[in-house]
Amino acid sequence: MYEAVDQQKKKDQTISVASVLKTIGVSRSGFYSYKKNENLPTQTQIRNEHLQKEIKKIHEGSYGIYGSPKITVLLNKNGENVSQKHVYNLMHGMGIKARYVRHYTKTTVSEDYSSKMQNLLNRHFNPTKPNTVWCTDITYIWTREDGFVYLTSVMDLFSRRIIAWVLTRTMDADKVLECLIKAKERRETDHPIVIQSDRGVQYTSELYQRLTKGMVTSYSWKGTPWDNACIESFHALIKREWLQFYKIDNYYGAYKIVFEYIEGFYNTTRIHSHCEYESPQNFEKQYLKHKH
């Protein structure tokens, strides 16, 4: 009713508001109270403004990596009770989105291999506890001054955590396989670990066989990168989420950027659907908490 009176007044300035209110039996105080509050934000607007602040905080905290699915999960974990569609619409209105993903094609050369090398893992990528299955691989990173440098990583498939990594100037086996030495030192495990790799010369070398003594070695079939999909996916992830946004001058610049991603974000903060939308580190902590 107040709105109707107000609209009529806007159409015809000669109308006496007091007379109209008296005619329809409405108090003047109620009308002027309506006028005072009509520009105040609604509960929906207040709610959306709050969500926008939280969305911006999460988006910036993920370095712009998370899109609406992961942001929705985190909002709901924080008790917001919001749908992905609503989050997407708010993000669209704010002009923010997940970083553009540019796909990479991995280029490797298959090596000759022994018929004794078997694929024991056979794409069973979900062990039920840590330190039962690891996987390892090498990828390249281009720098402007030093050319290619090489990132070798070891992942625990239980949590998808990168338990060790090295950045080397060459792909010599003794340099690359320092990563495996680090992994064994950090995990301090006596379990009979299965370790999956491709059939590159580093992983068929005598040094690798010595380092994996007491472990069970498993190899991808020739020309079948899907057999080592999890670690391959991680290396694709670091490139498209992180490395492509930097101009990397040299080895030292590459090391700093890789360290920031793996140690400062991927292992400790980045949520993963496999880990029930926890970080790899938190996923392992939850396992140990429930185990004891």
The stretch 129-152 carries a mean pLDDT of 94
pLDDT (0 to 100) of residue 31:
55
pLDDT (0 to 100) of residue 33:
66
Q: Is the pLDDT of residue 4 over 60?
A: no
Above pLDDT 90, what percent of the chain? 46
Domain identity same for 19 and 54: no
Q: Is the pLDDT of residue 140 over 50?
A: yes
- Give residue 136's pLDDT band: very low, low, confident or very high (50, 70, 90): very high
Q: Is the pLDDT of residue 211 over 80?
A: yes
The stretch 192-209 carries a mean pLDDT of 87
136: left (phi over 0), alpha (psi -120 to 50) or beta: beta
Whether residue 257 is contained in a domain is answered as: yes
Coil, helix or strand at residue 1? coil
pLDDT (0 to 100) of residue 222:
67
Give the residue numbers spanning the domain of 65: 43-94
pLDDT (0 to 100) of residue 44:
86
pLDDT (0 to 100) of residue 282:
96
Q: Is the pLDDT of residue 27 over 80?
A: no
C-beta atoms surrounding 119 within 10 Å? 14
Whether residue 161 is contained in a domain is answered as: yes
pLDDT (0 to 100) of residue 40:
65
The stretch 282-286 carries a mean pLDDT of 95
DSSP string, 158-227: TTTEEEEEEEESS--HHHHTHHHHHHHHHH---S--EEEE---GGGGSHHHHHHTTTSEEEEPPTT-GGG
- Give residue 190's pLDDT band: very low, low, confident or very high (50, 70, 90): low
Domain identity same for 16 and 158: no
Q: Amino acid identity of 22? A: K
- Assess contact for 173 and 207: CB atoms under 8 A: yes
Of residues 214 and 263, the one with the higher pLDDT is 263
The domain that holds 183 is classified in CATH as 3.30.420.10
pLDDT (0 to 100) of residue 5:
47
Least confident of 2-11, 20-29, 83-92: 2-11
Round to whole Å and give the CA distance between 236 and 230.
10
Domain identity same for 47 and 2: no
pLDDT (0 to 100) of residue 107:
40
Domain identity same for 30 and 54: no
Least confident of 110-114, 152-156, 287-291: 110-114
- Which runs of E-coded beta strand occur in the chain? 133-143, 147-156, 161-168, 194-197, 216-219
Round to whole Å and give the CA distance between 130 and 132.
6
Round to whole Å and give the CA distance between 132 and 79.
35
Domain identity same for 47 and 161: no
What angle do the packed helices 251-261 and 229-241 form, to 10 degrees?
Answer: 110
- Residues 82-113 pLDDT 10s: 998 999 999 989 888 887 554 444 444 334 43
What is the pTM (predicted TM-score) of this model? 0.72
Question: Which residue in the block uniquely carries the two structure tokens 């990528």?
Answer: 125
In the chain, how many domains are there?
3
